[in-house]
C-alpha cells in the first residue's frame, strides 16, 4: 500500500506577474481540479483498453465540488463518499498511485485491490469510502459524527451524496437525527440533475433541495457547484458553523457531470445541447480563464503544470502495472475477525 501522500496544497506554478498568497491558492485549486480531470481521462483510456474492469463512474465536470469542499476540512475531519468518488479521494490527499492500483485490483491499492472503483478507502486520511449503495454513506457519516460528539472531539464529518439519494430513506432518517441530536455533520448534495438516467424534475416534486433540507431544521443553502471559489467559500462558512456547535449544515452543490452515469451507460436520456451548454461552464477551464485574466497564469506555467500531472499519472499507471496481485492464500483474510476465524 502506498505511503506517499498527494499534498493537500500541492506545488503550483509561479504566478506570471502576481505571486500573492491569494494567487498561489487559486493556482493550487486549479492544480487539484486538473489532477482529478486528468486522472479520470486516463481511467477512460485504461478502461477502454480493458486494463480497468468492472463498474466505473467518472467525476468529470464536478471537480470544483470535491476540491472546494476539501479545502475547508482539516486532516482530522472525516469524509464519507459515494461510488463516484475518485475526485473526492484525490482531493482528500489519497495518492494517485494507490487509487490507480486499486483500479487495477492490485494489493498496493488503497483497499488492497478488493474494492475497485466504487470502494476507495483510506483510514489514515479519514476517508471512509466509497459506497456502492445510493445513500449508503449517510447513516455511516451520522455514526461518525455521533461518535465525535459523544467523545467531545471537535471534528466535522463531511458526507457527499447525489440528488438521487434525496429520494432514499437513509437521507431523511439521517437528516432528522442529525438535526435532532445536533451532530457535527456537513451534508454535501452533489445535484448533477440526474439520478442515473432520471432527471431531477421527474422524481422530485420540489427540485429546490436546499429548501427541502431546511425543513429538518438545519442550515441549508444552494451553491454554484461549477465555481470552485464559491464552493470553497460556502464550505468554509458551513464548516465553521458545524464546528461552532450549531448543528448539521446542508449544501446543495448545483453541478453537472459531462460524462454518462457510468462507463456502461449509453447516455441517451440527455440532450446533447444541454451537455454542451454545461460544458461552457467547465469549472477547470473557467478558473484557468480567470487566472489568465488576472495575469496569474500564462501558457508556459499551464504547460508545466500539465506536464507534471502527466508524469504523475504515468508513474501511477506504471506502478499499478508492476504491483503484485493478492496471493490466493490471502483471499479469506479480513473476511472474518480473528476471533471468529479461530473458532472450531
Query: Helix count (H) and strand count (E) of the chain?
Result: 13, 7
| Residues 75-109: tens digit of each pLDDT | 999 999 999 999 999 999 999 999 999 999 999 99
| Residues 177-224: tens digit of each pLDDT | 999 999 999 999 999 999 999 999 999 999 999 999 999 999 999 999
Provide the pLDDT confidence category of residue 343 given band limits of 50, 70 and 90.
low
| Residues 9-62: tens digit of each pLDDT | 444 433 344 468 999 999 999 999 999 999 999 999 999 999 999 999 999 999
| Residues 101-155: tens digit of each pLDDT | 999 999 999 999 999 999 999 999 999 988 999 999 999 999 999 999 999 999 9
Q: What percent of the chain has pLDDT over 70?
A: 93
Q: Residue written as cell 429546490?
A: 208
Are the C-beta atoms of 15 and 296 separated by less than 8 Å? yes
Rounded CA gap, 25 and 20, in Å? Answer: 9
Q: Is pLDDT above 90 for 1?
A: no
Rounded CA gap, 210 and 13, in Å? Answer: 37
For 314, the grid coordinates are: 504515468
Q: What are phi and psi of 65, to 5 degrees?
A: -70, -55
Q: Is pLDDT above 80 for 338?
A: no
Stated pTM of the model:
0.91
Amino acid at each position: 500500500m502506498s505511503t506517499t501522500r498527494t499534498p493537500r496544497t500541492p506545488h503550483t506554478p509561479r504566478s506570471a506577474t502576481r505571486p500573492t498568497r491569494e494567487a498561489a491558492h487559486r493556482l493550487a485549486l486549479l492544480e487539484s481540479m486538473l489532477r482529478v480531470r486528468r486522472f479520470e481521462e486516463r481511467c477512460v483510456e485504461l478502461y477502454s483498453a480493458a486494463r480497468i474492469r468492472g463498474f466505473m463512474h467518472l467525476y468529470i465536470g464536478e471537480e470544483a465540488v470535491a476540491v472546494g469542499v476539501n479545502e475547508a476540512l482539516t486532516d482530522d475531519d472525516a469524509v464519507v463518499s459515494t461510488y463516484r468518488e475518485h475526485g473526492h479521494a484525490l482531493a482528500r490527499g489519497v495518492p494517485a498511485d494507490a487509487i490507480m492500483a486499486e483500479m487495477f485490483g492490485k494489493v498496493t491499492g488503497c483497499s488492497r485491490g478488493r474494492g475497485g472503483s466504487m470502494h476507495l478507502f483510506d483510514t489514515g486520511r479519514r476517508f471512509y469510502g466509497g459506497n456502492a449503495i445510493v445513500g449508503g454513506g449517510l447513516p455511516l457519516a451520522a455514526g461518525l459524527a455521533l461518535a465525535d460528539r459523544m467523545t467531545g472531539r471537535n471534528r466535522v464529518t463531511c458526507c457527499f451524496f447525489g440528488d438521487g439519494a434525496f429520494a432514499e430513506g437513509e437521507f431523511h432518517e439521517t437528516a432528522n437525527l442529525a438535526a435532532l441530536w445536533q451532530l457535527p455533520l456537513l451534508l454535501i448534495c452533489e445535484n448533477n440533475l440526474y439520478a442515473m438516467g432520471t432527471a431531477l424534475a421527474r422524481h422530485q416534486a420540489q427540485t429546490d433541495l436546499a429548501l427541502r433540507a431546511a425543513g429538518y431544521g438545519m442550515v441549508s443553502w444552494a451553491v454554484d457547484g461549477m465555481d470552485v471559489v464559491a464552493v470553497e467559500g460556502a464550505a468554509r462558512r458551513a464548516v465553521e458553523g458545524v464546528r461552532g456547535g450549531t448543528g448539521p449544515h446542508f449544501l446543495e452543490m448545483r453541478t453537472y457531470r459531462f460524462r454518462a452515469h457510468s462507463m456502461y451507460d449509453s447516455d441517451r436520456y440527455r440532450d446533447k445541447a444541454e451537455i454542451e451548454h454545461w460544458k461552457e461552464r467547465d469549472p477547470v477551464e473557467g478558473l484557468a480563464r480567470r487566472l489568465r485574466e488576472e495575469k496569474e497564469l500564462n501558457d508556459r506555467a499551464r504547460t508545466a503544470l500539465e506536464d507534471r500531472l502527466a508524469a504523475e499519472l504515468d508513474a501511477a499507471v506504471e506502478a499499478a502495472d508492476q504491483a503484485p496481485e493478492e496471493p490466493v492464500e490471502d483471499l479469506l483474510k479480513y473476511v472474518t475477525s480473528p476471533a471468529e476465524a479461530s473458532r472450531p
